[in-house]
Structures are given as C-alpha cells and as structure tokens.
Amino acid sequence: MDVELVLLLVAALGAGWVDAVVGGGGLIQLPALMLLNPGAPVASALATNKLASIAGTSSAAVAYLRKAKPDLPVALPGAGLAVAFSAVGALGATAISSDVLKPVIMVVLLTVAAVVVLRPDLGRTPALVLRTRRRTAAAVLVPGVVIAFYDGLVGPGTGTFLVITFTTLLGTDFVNASANAKIINTATNLGALVVFAAQGQVLWALGLAMAVCNIVGAQLGARMAINRGAGFVRAVLLCVVAALVLKLGYEQFA
C-alpha cells in the first residue's frame, strides 16, 4: 500500500467525521483526491469524492434516525428534489468554472459565520418558530434545489449550508438540523454520482476503499454529535466555516 493511498484513506476517515457532525467533509476529501491523485481529471476527483461521501452520509443518516428527530415531512420532499437538482449541477460541472462561484460562496460563508457568532443561542436548543407555508416551502426548496445544485456543481460546504438553513428557517437545534442535513446530503450525493457514473468518471476501486473509511468516520462523528449536543456541533461548525473561507480565499487571491 503506497503512501498516497494511505493518506487518501485517512482523509476519507476525517471527512466522514466532519460531514457527520456538521457537513463540510468535502473540504478535506476533495482537495486530497486532487493533490494525491494528480493524474486524474477534476471530474474524476469530483465523482470519486461523491462515491465515498454517499457511503458516509447515508450511514450517518441512519445513525441520526435512531437517536435524533429529523423533520421528515420537510427532509423527504427536499431529498426527492435534491436527487434531480444535484444531477443537473453535476451535468454542468464540466461546463461552468467553479472560480465564478467562489466569491459568492465566500460571502455566504462569512454571513453564516457572522450569524452563528452574533447569535450565540442559535441552534443550541429548538427555537419557537411559526411554521408558515412559506417558511416550510423555503425549508424544502432551498436545500432541495439551490443547495443540491451547488453540491452537484462544486460540493464542499454543502452539509454546512444545509445545517444553517434548517436552523434558521425552522428553529431546529444543531443536532436535529444535522439529522435533516444528512438525509438531503445523501440525496445530493446520489444524484451527482449517477451522472458521474454514467459519464465513466468514477474511480471505483479507490472510491470504494475511501467509502469504507468514510463510513467509519461518519459513525464516530454522528455518535459524538448526538452525545455531546448542540454546543459541540456549533464549535465544529465555526471551525469548518473558517476553514472553508480560508481555503476559498487562498484559491481566489493566491
């Protein structure tokens, strides 16, 4: 077993843990695939990342379903839309440069960080929010259409965006928002993976090996998030957002 493969498996383990807690595992896994497997096209890195990620997110979703309380009337319709719109995003992955989106994503991430810092009680406990039709529709459409399309097109940070969306729109605490996010994220990974597989972009042997490690990390992360509660998830969320901003800022301005 060569050093590059070992490092990719370790990256998959860490990505599964981060994804299960708050999302953003692609921040670890996708750059590792691109750096440690330099001969592969970018589309193959995206595709293989999806194969490993869907294994971890689906196993984390099962763990959350057993212990947390996902909002299934919102999460399931959102997941149905997410399969389709992440597939559309994946179709555009080779046609649209992600560099165009990076400044926009940085602004969104900085806004997320500001909201979490300035509202220290956000996501710690469930908030009383009037569940109007408009708010419920937004909680289905934003994850199922907008975020799903982004995940198919680019990917990293999807789980983080999902957690903040559910927390902000529905008043969900961070742990249960993560449970919702895992259901949607499994669907977004599935939609994109189907497209990439049809295009012959998936590195199956590598992806399946990383998938096993991703599952192990996801199970550890889900259990820690459930046992340690919303305060732990909030701390990890801020770390992931900061890392995403630094990564995108470096790529944009370096």
Model pLDDT for residues 36-84, shown as the tens digit of each residue: 877 777 778 888 999 999 999 999 999 998 888 889 999 999 999 999 9
Give the helix/strand (H/E) hosting 142.
Answer: none
Residue 123, pLDDT score: 59
Residue 160, pLDDT score: 83
Average pLDDT, the chain: 85
Residue 184, pLDDT score: 96
Residue 209, pLDDT score: 96
- Mind listing the pLDDT tens digit for each residue in 152-179? 887 777 888 898 899 989 988 888 898 9
Which of 92, 63, 82 is closest to 196 using CA atoms? 92
Q: Which of 48-52, 94-98, 207-211 has the lowest mean pLDDT?
A: 94-98
Angle among Cα 38, 196, 112 to the nearest 5 degrees reads: 80
Confidence band for 32, pLDDT divided at 50, 70 and 90: confident
Whether the predicted pLDDT of 98 surpasses 60:
no
d(CA 155, CA 46): 8
d(CA 189, CA 183): 10
Residues 6 or more apart in contact with residue 72 via CB below 8 angstroms: 183
Per-residue CA distances from 114 to 94, 108, 117, 218 (Å): 32, 10, 5, 27
Whether the predicted pLDDT of 1 surpasses 60:
no
pTM of the model: 0.83
Residue 101, pLDDT score: 57
What separation, in Å, do the N-terminal and C-terminal C-alpha atoms of the chain show? Answer: 34
d(CA 208, CA 112): 33
Boundaries of every domain in the chain: 3-253
Whether the predicted pLDDT of 122 surpasses 90:
no
Name the token pair of 87.
């597939």
Q: Is 3 helix (H, G, I), strand (E, B) or coil?
A: helix
Residues 6 or more apart in contact with residue 55 via CB below 8 angstroms: 211, 212, 214, 215, 218
For the chain, the farthest-separated pair of C-alpha atoms sits apart, in whole angstroms, at 55
Rg (CA), the chain: 17
Which of 162, 140, 155, 191 is closest to 64 using CA atoms? 162
Residue recorded with tokens 């459409």? 141
**3-state secondary structure string, 203-247?**
CHHHHHHHHHHHHHHHHHHHHHHHHHCHHHHHHHHHHHHHHHHHH
